[in-house]
Homo-oligomer: A and B are copies of this chain.
Amino acid sequence: MAKGHGHKVWIIPDGYIATTPPEAEGPSGYITHESVCILNDGDKAAHCTLDVYFEDREPMLGIPFDVGGQRSLHLRLDKLETPAGEPIPRDTCYSLRVISDRDIVVQHSRLDVTQPNATLMTTMGYPIED
């Protein structure tokens, strides 16, 4: 069995999903979104949770998701909901923390088509040493 690479806790301070105005939808069908992108290159599935922190309210903690062994996951934050059905609010500044029971590598990307051209940004998450 191969153990995966990376770390168990990752932090991304800059989260923001703008509401895309209907007239801004581009020819490609792109919509404004963010993704938490993860590689689990180990053999066993990683059981993860996502915490979302805000500027002026209590965080949304412990949204569960899994990443299969030897699998990639691009977790769409605009489609994500808490177990109680609450989505991440739009037009709101937030930060993210991913906690996994196995070593993974986490990157975060945003596509914004509000203006209405497409623009991308990305960064590796910040890993916390065990």
Q: What is the 8 Å Cβ interface bit string for chain A, positions 1-23, against chain B (1 contact, 0 not)? A: 00001100101111110100101
With beta carbons under 8 angstroms apart, the residue of B28, B95, B105, B120 that contacts A126 is B105
**What's the minimum C-beta distance from A61 to chain B, rounded to whole angstroms?**
9
Select one of B13, B24, B94, B107 contacting A107, CB under 8 A.
B13
- Take A18-B28, A35-B14, A97-B39 as given contacts and tell me if A6 and B106 are in contact as well, using a CB distance cutoff of 8 Å: no
A82 contacts the other chain (CB 8 A) = no
Q: Which residue in B16, B37, B39, B118 is a CB contact (below 8 Å) of A119?
A: B118
Most chain B beta-carbon neighbours within 10 Å: one of A23, A38, A126: A126
Inter-subunit contact A126/B6 (CB<8 Å): yes
Q: Could you tell me which A residues sit within 8 Å of B by CB distance? A: 5-6, 9, 11-16, 18, 21, 23-24, 26-28, 30, 35, 37-39, 41, 51, 53-56, 58-59, 70-74, 93-97, 105-107, 109-110, 112-128
